[in-house]
A = this chain, B = another copy of it.
Amino acid sequence: MATDDLMSRALETLADDDPPSVEAIHRLVDLADIPESVTITEAADLLDVSPHTLRYYERAGLVAVARDGSGHRVYDTEAMRRLVFLTRMRLSGMPMRDLQHYVSLVDAGKETVPERLDMLIEHRDTIRRRIRELTLSLTATEYKIATYGGSTGPDVPSPDPTTS
């Protein structure tokens, strides 16, 4: 595997491991082997996004990032932790808008925990629905490959070659 970002590593772990084990999750979220602080390019590589995107997330108020003496961004463990969360949520389809709301709740203190949980639960359900949609589309696509006929079909109940 060429890419070596955090998500790719986690997916690799997951590859022959379905459903994902707690092991996989631990591996996924293990920030221990990330340097204490990284540059924007290093952070971008780890997260498999572009530096442009990281600046964009910061501008959007999703994460605060410190600067060094030259004004360059310094991503510490806390920032990376949040960005791992953010990129995973983005990857699973949570809109920027919701993430902005979520981090505003985080910043507002622990009395917002229930609302945050609500958001997570709703997002979990959204992911589940999406997986079911994709699973159905996958099966249909595999079916079409297996019985392939042409036109826009087969898409018919029988693998009847006359519908080709």
Residues of A within 8 A of B (CB): 7, 10-11, 14-15, 18-20, 22, 24-26, 28-31, 78, 81-82, 84-86, 88-89, 91-93, 103, 106, 110, 113, 116-117, 120-121, 123-124, 127-128, 130-145, 148, 150-153, 155-157, 164
Q: List 5 A-B contacts (CB under 8 A).
A: A22-B143, A28-B140, A31-B155, A117-B145, A124-B138
Contacts of A10 in B (CB 8 A): 136
Residues of A contacting B: mostly: helix
Q: Is the CB of B106 within 8 A of A151?
A: yes
Q: Taking A81-B152, A120-B145, A155-B81 as contacts, is the C-beta distance between A136 and B24 under 8 angstroms?
A: yes
- Cα distance, A120 to B164, chains bound together (Å): 16
- Cα distance, A14 to B139, chains bound together (Å): 11
Q: Which 6 A-B pairs have the closest CB atoms?
A: A92-B137, A82-B152, A20-B139, A26-B157, A29-B155, A127-B138
Q: How many copies does the complex hold?
A: 2
Q: Is the CB of B29 within 8 A of A137?
A: no
Q: Shortest Cβ distance from A27 into chain B, in angstroms?
A: 9
Contacts of A133 in B (CB 8 A): 7, 11, 91-92
Q: Shortest Cβ distance from A29 into chain B, in angstroms?
A: 4
- Cα distance, A78 to B156, chains bound together (Å): 12
Contacts of A88 in B (CB 8 A): 137, 140
- Cα distance, A69 to B22, chains bound together (Å): 63
Q: Is the CB of B25 within 8 A of A110?
A: no
Of the candidates A116, A134, A137, A151, the one having the most CB atoms from chain B within 10 angstroms of its own CB is A137
